């Protein structure tokens, strides 16, 4: 059963939002991914958000760009955590998306990641689920070690070969 719902306002958001899916797959978390526009199909959106809890979702990751109301409206209806991903927009480079998603009124939080920060949204969802899943928590600890090892390789190479050779 899917524990995480990934939803986005348009299929043009998919190249970014697929990074959240990739992270969930890395940690072995079942998810459902879909496109629902809160503005263009409010009835479909309302149905999705109201049924999300009974479907078994524990977290929703919602991505949208511009007047990005999908994450906030998901949080207004779904009683568990909603993570918002502001999508880069053409006119305002995603600052509009970021402000729309992060500026929630008191009582209705959306955990907002950086513009196009869908990978972090996936990791954050995993961390939320790991609070009650020791096996998942171990996977997250191992991932942190992986990150450290990848930077250590770069550190050693730079120190050994010097910056000119490193940049070739």
Q: Which residues bind ligand RP5 (CB under 6 A)?
A: 8-10, 12-13, 37, 64-66, 87
- Count of H helices and E strands in the chain? 6, 5
CA 72 to chain centre: 14
User: Which is nearer to ligand RP5, 9 or 117 (by Cβ)?
Assistant: 9
User: Which is nearer to ligand RP5, 12 or 34 (by Cβ)?
Assistant: 12
Whether the CB-CB separation of 120 and 113 falls below 8 Å is answered with: yes
Query: What is the C-alpha separation between 55 and 163, in angstroms, rounded?
Result: 53
Three-state SS string across 77-100, please? HCCCCEEEEEECCCCCCCHHHHHH
34 beta partners = 7
User: Which is nearer to ligand RP5, 81 or 86 (by Cβ)?
Assistant: 86
59 phi-psi bin (left φ>0, alpha ψ -120 to 50, beta other): beta
Report the nearest approach of ligand RP5 to the CB of residue 107 (Å).
Answer: 24
Q: Three-class SS of residue 63?
A: strand
User: Which is nearer to ligand RP5, 87 or 129 (by Cβ)?
Assistant: 87
Contacts of 136 (CB under 8 A, 6+ apart): 27, 28, 29, 126, 129, 130
User: Which is nearer to ligand RP5, 40 or 144 (by Cβ)?
Assistant: 40
């Amino acid at each position: 059963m899917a524990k995480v719902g990934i939803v986005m306002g348009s299929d043009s958001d998919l190249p970014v939002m697929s990074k959240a899916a990739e992270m969930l797959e890395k940690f072995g978390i079942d998810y459902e991914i879909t496109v629902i526009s809160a503005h263009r199909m409010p009835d479909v959106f309302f149905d999705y958000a109201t049924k999300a809890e009974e479907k078994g979702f524990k977290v929703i990751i919602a991505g949208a760009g511009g007047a990005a109301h999908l994450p906030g409206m998901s949080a207004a209806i779904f009683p568990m955590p909603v993570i918002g991903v502001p999508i880069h927009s053409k006119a305002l480079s995603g600052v509009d998306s970021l402000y729309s998603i992060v500026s929630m009124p008191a009582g209705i939080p959306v955990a907002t990641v950086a513009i196009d920060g869908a990978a972090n949204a996936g990791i954050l969802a995993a961390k939320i689920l790991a609070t009650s899943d020791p096996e998942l928590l171990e996977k997250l600890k191992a991932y942190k070690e992986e990150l450290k090892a990848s930077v250590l390789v770069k550190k050693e190479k730079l120190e050994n070969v010097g910056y000119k050779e490193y940049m070739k």
